[in-house]
Amino acid sequence: MDGECCGPGYASPQEAIQAPREKLLYTIAIYTGTGIQKPDYLATVDVDPESPTYSQVIHRLEMPGIGDELHHMGWNACSSCHDDGSMSRKYLILPGVRSNNLHIVDTATDPRAPRLHKVIDGSEIKAKADLSGPHTVHCLGSEIIISFLGDAKGEAPGGYLHLDKEFNIVGRWENSMGGIKFGYDFWYQPRHNVMVSSEWAAPNTFMPGFDLEEVGHLKYGRELHFWDFEKREPVESFYLGEDGLLPLEVKFHHDPDSTHGFCGAALSTNVIHWWKDDANKWQWEKIIDVENEMHPEWPIPLPGVMSAILISMDDKYLYLNNWLHGDMRQYDITDPHNPKLTGQVFMGGLLGKAPTVNGVEVAGGPQMFQLSLDGRRLYVTTSLFSTWDNQFYPEIREKGGVMVMIDCDPENGGMKINEDFIVDFGKEPNGPSRCHESRYPGGDCTSDIWL
């Protein structure tokens, strides 16, 4: 692929690492579940240290309705379209998990002040594709696939919505869900004709809040699924058992030739590693196990709740969060079978190790995070999901969410909180809001895939 090509993204992960430093960051901010009757919105954060508005929200794009619960988002185009001059990374797709609406946002006309381009109504998606609970958005060459966690009635397993590049509904992407019980995240590696998907729960199960008994009643996932990407159907599933309770985020190496990938099992607080062996068979193993911690107010030892993972663009480091413990961790995965802990910082959490960061009291714990392309800056937010926030961190209603920046050392390993950066969403104009996933205008470590 020609590095000087015509389409969006980068010719290779190595080229992405050399890209200019990010100056803007988009994060979703929600009022859903806070008691404040205002729309969720897309916040533009100034992350240019040379700017007079550095570390501030400089624009807020409100959604048309109330109660969307914006959650994850993704681009219309990524490095998989790098050889397509007709494509540009212009639109950010913001699904509402509760409303099922897909908000298509134009970030290119004025990157500092994005504008709403189109809304695909959730009722249309239910009628045409029998899907609800949109989650992960991935660009697929010039088209888009979005994982949905439920059918139109909110029951599992859901499926995948296929959109064309004009954001028209093509229909369901998959030809079969096989024996898959639940949906959640997915990542594909085209050179190996594989997609891997993970499991959370049916929208009707997780939306009201978390009930530990429902894990025992098998209402939460514990399997990983390997798909024939071209045939669009699952071909093999791995039952992870107690090592893989709530296997949420899945990430392949960025190197498109690699078969190595990773999954964070939230409730087990483990990292699962998979790869293809010399006999061309998929294998898996547990490589990181975060121990539960005793807590005076908890009847059982407190799990970390590893709700997100991320791989640096050079495939050297894996980052993970422990939402309830309150720490972010960095592991060197140069040998993916034997990760080494190289960095750890605390922010919020229930263990009381860092209740305040840069003068702001942290309600919640480290949750979603986005790494700069060069691997030096990690932006971390604190809200997981509105009903779960209210359950585990009730004070977040008054305090709102925060965004913290962690300085990372990609040469030697190591992490420390940047003392000059903090965005306090507790001080937003309409009252305390909560921030979740973040994206950069030029692409990031959680959206770009190479063909």
Q: Mean pLDDT over residues 342-366, rounded?
A: 97
pLDDT band for 141, please (50, 70, 90 cuts). Answer: confident
Encoding tokens for residue 388?
A: 């779960």
Three-state secondary structure call for residue 107: coil
Q: How far apart are CA 241 and CA 244, in angstroms?
A: 6
pLDDT digits (tens, 9 = 90+) for 173-219: 999 999 999 999 999 999 999 999 999 999 999 999 999 999 999 99
Encoding tokens for residue 162?
A: 């296929």
Confidence check: pLDDT of 21 > 70: yes
The CATH architecture to which 13-439 belongs is: 7 Propeller (2.130)
pLDDT digits (tens, 9 = 90+) for 33-82: 999 999 999 999 999 999 999 999 999 999 999 999 999 999 999 989 89
Of 7-16, 121-130, 177-186, the least confident: 7-16
Q: Mean pLDDT over residues 253-272, rounded?
A: 98
Element (H, E) at 251: strand 247-252
Based on the number of CB atoms within 10 Å of its own CB, is 146 exposed (0-12), middle (13-18) or buried (19 or more)? Answer: buried
**DSSP one-letter string for 158-187:** -EEEEE-TT--EEEES-S--TT------EE
Contact (Cβ atoms closer than 8 angstroms) between residue 23 and residue 112: no
Tell me the three-class secondary structure of 282-344, residue by residue: EEEEEEEECCCECCCCCCCCECCCCCCEEECCCCCEEEEEECCCCEEEEEECCCCCCCEEEEE
Q: Mean pLDDT over residues 82-109, rounded?
A: 95
Q: Are strands 327-332 and 340-346 parallel, antiparallel or unpaired?
A: antiparallel
pLDDT digits (tens, 9 = 90+) for 393-443: 999 999 999 999 999 999 999 999 999 999 999 999 999 999 999 999 988
pLDDT attached to residue 1: 37
pLDDT attached to residue 442: 82
Across the chain, what does the average pLDDT equal?
96
Q: Mean pLDDT over residues 290-314, rounded?
A: 96
Q: How far apart are CA 372 and CA 3, in angstroms?
A: 20
Confidence check: pLDDT of 7 > 50: yes
For residue 424, the one-letter residue type is D
How does DSSP classify residue 241? Answer: G
